[in-house]
Amino acid sequence: TSLSPRQFLRRQQVLQLYRKILRAVREVPAEADRQYLKDWAREEFRRNKDATEEDTIRMMITQGNMQLQELQRTLKLAKS
């Protein structure tokens, strides 16, 4: 199946978010926490991979970005 331009852009957003989350997780100092967060992210994305409703996908991307920002803030605080 080919994707519409809108679906293609959404897919790019989702993949970009996934990569950003995994990159941020690499900064987590404790190995156990790092593994937990990586597994959590992988599972969340896998669980929602069949979502097709545009509003739902947009909401999940927004939620994912907020969680990413929270993780980045926490890591920044931990370093200071």
Say whether pTM exceeds 0.85.
Answer: yes
pLDDT in tens, 5-51: 999 999 999 999 999 999 999 999 999 999 999 999 999 999 999 99
* DSSP result, the chain: -PPPHHHHHHHHHHHHHHHHHHHHHTT-SSHHHHHHHHHHHHHHHHHTTT---HHHHHHHHHHHHHHHHHHHHHHHHHH-
Mean pLDDT of the chain: 95
Domain spans, the chain: 5-79
